[in-house]
Chain A
Amino acid sequence: MDEVLRVESVTKRFPGVLANDAVSFSVRHSEIHALLGENGAGKSTLVKILYGVLQPDDGTLSLEGRPFTPANPAAAREAGVGMVFQHFSLFEGMTVAENIALGLPGERPDEGFAARIRTLSEEYGLPVEPSRIIGDLSVGERQRVEIVRCLMQSPRLLIMDEPTSVLTPQEADELFVTLKGLRERGLSILYISHRLSEIRDLCQAATVMRGGKVVATCDPRTETARSLAEMMIGASLVQPVAAPSDPGPVRLSVEALDVPAEGPFGVTLDGVSLTVRAGEILGIGGVAGNGQTELMDALIGECPVAGGDILLDGASVLGQSPSQRRGMGMCFAPEERLGHAMSPGMTLTENTLISARRRAGLSSRGVLDFGAAARFAADVIGRFDVRTSGPQQTARALSGGNLQKFSIGREIAQAPMVLVAAQPTWGVDAAAAATVHRALIALAEAGSAVLVISQDLDELRSLSHRLAILSDGKLSEARPTAELSLAEIGALMGGSSLEGDLHATA
């Protein structure tokens, strides 16, 4: 039997949506198999069915030739399917061994268990120390813990959801070496990613989904990133690239900003300085958890600043509330959509009132104009192709990509003088990302200053005129993006200064 997993005409309906429409494909032994598709193509539903979170309405699954009907994730794990989620499910205050034991029925984190973790991690080339506290580990190390946890149950199939989205380029390279090693040991991997170049590197087969159906099966090694993207969206794709800018006066200026850490595992911002000029897009790269949250919250005005200054068109905004900063021309699109940028239980119309009350004229003397808010919401929905039944839909009912389009669209539609956007296309498919990128570029061309904080280096490299890297609360000097090589960026993300480490390793 050559196939590890066989999926046959699996169908899953949700009210009003056919999420999986007779999906069939198979994963062979010792194969890294890519699952590709835009947001809403049905990948998540399929993966949830494979991992026992959802049950299919129709169709069959088989694992190594035997029927496979997991009633819940525990049953899926027992049958031999492991999964590494994009967002880790680890307790930061506990040790590696305790975290791994928690996921395994009947295990206790004693010495014998720690020894088994050590043996297994050496065997697979995944160095982890069982006694360390998760909170002290880097993101790459945490991911290793998640993988080791799966391997402890000796799975036949490992599902990985966007594993590189949280890693530096170097950490991603290490992960690829690990995954290739696992493949050589006979493990099959179902690999979900938006990054087409890494799929071409890593995978031997790819299944492409669109609108709940499988539209193509191919060997990604013989395709280009562009042809894969076009299979996913079913149309030809034009990736917008920022034109060289002729920057105007400085709009936003941050001077030696110190911000205390948020929470026990936050990062203290230490003397962050930057300027963004009119007509310019400044990118801030770096791995999540290096002070991005603190920088964003300080710019919005949600957290206290310990030292330094934030100037908007030369005037300090310290001490001004988020509403007052918006009034002065500054808008914000934070990373967390539900719970920060938007309120899940409110309608899209009500959600426009969160950040667009004054600039879009939705409120006068404190009295809300719901008609105007609904028109504004409908305008954002139309301009940014938000898939929803209309402005009266509650935010919770939207998919992640559509929420992202709405929450960033809400800010761009206010035509701010300065826009600060964190992870503007996180979890958004290629076509929608292009829409958002085009809108950001157009905003800059119209004379606004745009600051993009992102973990997606491809995005930053195509979008920003200048690029700086945030690492451990310190921001590197911004340099023209075209002058920075990937190796230099990687070294900065790892926390080394350009002059020091890079020359030593080069």
Chain B
Amino acid sequence: MLRLEPRPERSRVLLWTTPLLAAGMTIVSAYLLFLIIGVDPLKALGHVIIDPFSNSFSRSELLVKAAPLALIALGLSLGFRANVWNIGAEGQFTLGAICGGATALAFYGVEGLWLFPLICLAGMLGGMAWASVPAALRTRMGVNEILVSLMMTYIAVLLLSALVSGPLRDPDGFNFPESRIFHDSAIPPILIEGTRAHIGIAIVPIVAIFLWWLTRYHEIGFSLRLLGDTPRAGRFAGFSENRAVWFCLMVSGGLAGLAGALEATGPIGQLVPGIPVGYGFTAIIVAFLGRLHPIGVVFAALALAVSYIGGESAQIAMSLPAALVGVLQGLLLFWLLIFDLFVGYRLRRVAPAKGGPRPAAETGPKVSESGGA
């Protein structure tokens, strides 16, 4: 009989090898899945894993996809450590796109270096405003922030649709639900000529290193960790739970909003109803795959970017279903959660609990060893 028992100390080796084990098992299960649906598994896996690295354009696209994932997940992981569960980053991302895009349209045709920073700021404020609703409801009335932040997402998506069909619609756009295409001063500077790799990619490492410093060496990071691990000790230490809730939701909302503004003005270049494509939800996987550690999150975002680009590549080349990307990401989270169990627990083989009270007593103390063999 096998039994799960808690480890005296969490295994640090496993903590950092689980993401690799999970990635490995995801590849194995994807292989089996391709086999079942009658697709050449090696060829399909080749498209998923190799294609994203095969040429310089794909490699730059990896960075373009990874940047918003990393920005959102960096904010989320801060909150997840403190037991503040912002599940609505998708909505905050959408609001960031709306506010950033609306700012760009308000200054349509106006040139100046100040405009793009203003757009970023507007995006951050939009995400923060959206996240302030769950924060206020949780701190004032004890409403669960998971439900509120999640439901706010649907409002945000519909709000975007309404705006691009109405006030923000392109006046010369033949009634298509789209805004004008943003002008030059309103779009992020390109980092690598000839690609879509924009300035937002350079922001990621700066934010990651700052948040790493904050969690490692600053009282704020310590208070979030303490309140997350042992809330009562956090109160004893004089830290305020309400302040932590606000801080986490404002940082994660602001970063999701920034990612939204960058996405709308950068790779997309206008406001369209299809801006929210699930980055806010995928970022939850990124946060856990990166072990809620700011530097780990950056690498995890790259891994998930591979699943997007490789999945799309396999879809195009082998006409596989569009659900492929979601299936791969779901498998990855599934295996991650399975392996995560073993960070805190281990399996042990134990003797059957009872073999009848009296006979067991007569076989002596060795019974526990022979019973398990």
A: residues with CB less than 8 A from B are 15, 55-56, 59-60, 66-69, 71-72, 74-75, 78-79, 300-302, 321-324, 326, 332, 334, 336, 339-346, 350, 353-355, 357, 363, 366-368, 370, 394, 396-397
- CB neighbours (8 Å) of B364 from chain A are 60, 67, 69
For B350, the closest partner residue in chain A by CB is A71
Most buried by B among A301, A345, A350: A345
Q: Ordered nearest first, which 5 A-B pairs have the shortest CB separation? A: A323-B238, A322-B238, A343-B230, A354-B237, A366-B219
B235 at the interface (CB under 8 A from A): yes
How near does chain A come to B275, taking the closest CB pair, in angstroms?
37
- CB neighbours (8 Å) of A336 from chain B are 232
A98–B332 Cα distance when bound, in Å, is: 46
How near does chain A come to B144, taking the closest CB pair, in angstroms?
21
In the complex, identify which listed stretch (B106-114, B182-190, B355-363) lies at the interface while the others stay far away. B355-363
Query: B237–A346 contact, CB under 8 A?
Result: no
- CB neighbours (8 Å) of A74 from chain B are 353-354
B365 at the interface (CB under 8 A from A): yes
Q: Map CB proximity to A onto B215-229 as digits: 1 under 8 Å, 0 otherwise.
A: 001111010011001
B194 at the interface (CB under 8 A from A): no
B351 at the interface (CB under 8 A from A): yes
For A358, the closest partner residue in chain B by CB is B238
- CB neighbours (8 Å) of B217 from chain A are 367-368, 370
A340-B230, A355-B237 given; name 6 further pairs at CB < 8 Å: A68-B361, A69-B364, A339-B232, A353-B222, A354-B236, A367-B219
Query: B357–A75 contact, CB under 8 A?
Result: yes
Query: B367–A323 contact, CB under 8 A?
Result: no
- CB neighbours (8 Å) of A59 from chain B are 365
Query: A343–B226 contact, CB under 8 A?
Result: yes
- CB neighbours (8 Å) of B226 from chain A are 343, 346, 354
- CB neighbours (8 Å) of B353 from chain A are 71-72, 74-75
- CB neighbours (8 Å) of A326 from chain B are 238
- CB neighbours (8 Å) of B173 from chain A are none
Query: B236–A322 contact, CB under 8 A?
Result: yes
- CB neighbours (8 Å) of B229 from chain A are 343-346
26 example contacts (A-B, Cβ-Cβ < 8 A) are as follows A56-B365, A59-B365, A67-B364, A69-B361, A69-B368, A71-B368, A72-B354, A75-B353, A78-B357, A79-B357, A300-B236, A302-B236, A322-B237, A323-B238, A332-B236, A339-B230, A339-B232, A340-B236, A342-B230, A343-B226, A345-B10, A345-B230, A346-B226, A355-B236, A367-B218, A368-B218
- CB neighbours (8 Å) of A72 from chain B are 353-354
- CB neighbours (8 Å) of A302 from chain B are 235-236
A300–B236 Cα distance when bound, in Å, is: 7
Q: Identify whether the interface residues of A are mostly helix, strand, loop, or mixed.
A: mixed
Query: A67–B362 contact, CB under 8 A?
Result: yes
Q: Identify whether the interface residues of B are mostly helix, strand, loop, or mixed.
A: helix
Q: Map CB proximity to A onto B197-229 as digits: 1 under 8 Å, 0 otherwise.
A: 000000000000000000001111010011001
- CB neighbours (8 Å) of B230 from chain A are 339-340, 342-345
Query: A368–B8 contact, CB under 8 A?
Result: no
* Residue among A60, A75, A301, A396 making CB contact with B365, cutoff 8 Å: A60
- Give the interface size class of chain B: 20 to 34
Given A72-B353, A343-B230, A368-B217, CB of A67 within 8 Å of CB of B361? yes
- CB neighbours (8 Å) of A354 from chain B are 226, 233, 236-237
Query: A321–B238 contact, CB under 8 A?
Result: yes
Given A69-B365, A366-B219, CB of A322 within 8 Å of CB of B233? no
Query: B233–A339 contact, CB under 8 A?
Result: yes
How near does chain B come to A10, taking the closest CB pair, in angstroms?
10
For B233, the closest partner residue in chain A by CB is A343
Most buried by B among A302, A326, A366: A366
For B362, the closest partner residue in chain A by CB is A67
How near does chain A come to B234, taking the closest CB pair, in angstroms?
8
A69–B368 Cα distance when bound, in Å, is: 9
B9 at the interface (CB under 8 A from A): yes
A15–B9 Cα distance when bound, in Å, is: 12
For A356, the closest partner residue in chain B by CB is B237
Query: B240–A321 contact, CB under 8 A?
Result: yes
- CB neighbours (8 Å) of B240 from chain A are 321
* Residue among B219, B232, B361 making CB contact with A340, cutoff 8 Å: B232
Query: B218–A79 contact, CB under 8 A?
Result: no
- CB neighbours (8 Å) of B233 from chain A are 339-343, 354
Given A71-B353, A75-B354, A397-B8, CB of A322 within 8 Å of CB of B235? yes
For B369, the closest partner residue in chain A by CB is A55
- CB neighbours (8 Å) of B225 from chain A are 346
A344–B9 Cα distance when bound, in Å, is: 11
A357–B354 Cα distance when bound, in Å, is: 52
- CB neighbours (8 Å) of B365 from chain A are 55-56, 59-60, 67, 69
A79–B361 Cα distance when bound, in Å, is: 9
A60–B362 Cα distance when bound, in Å, is: 12
For B230, the closest partner residue in chain A by CB is A343
A300–B357 Cα distance when bound, in Å, is: 52
For B367, the closest partner residue in chain A by CB is A69
* Residue among B219, B354, B362, B368 making CB contact with A363, cutoff 8 Å: B219
How near does chain A come to B306, taking the closest CB pair, in angstroms?
33
A415–B227 Cα distance when bound, in Å, is: 26
How near does chain B come to A144, taking the closest CB pair, in angstroms?
28
- CB neighbours (8 Å) of A342 from chain B are 230, 233
- CB neighbours (8 Å) of B367 from chain A are 69
Query: A394–B236 contact, CB under 8 A?
Result: no
- CB neighbours (8 Å) of A323 from chain B are 237-238
Query: B236–A69 contact, CB under 8 A?
Result: no
- CB neighbours (8 Å) of B218 from chain A are 366-368
For B351, the closest partner residue in chain A by CB is A71
For A15, the closest partner residue in chain B by CB is B8
For A345, the closest partner residue in chain B by CB is B229
B residues 139-183 in Cβ contact with A at 8 Å = none
How near does chain B come to A23, taking the closest CB pair, in angstroms?
15
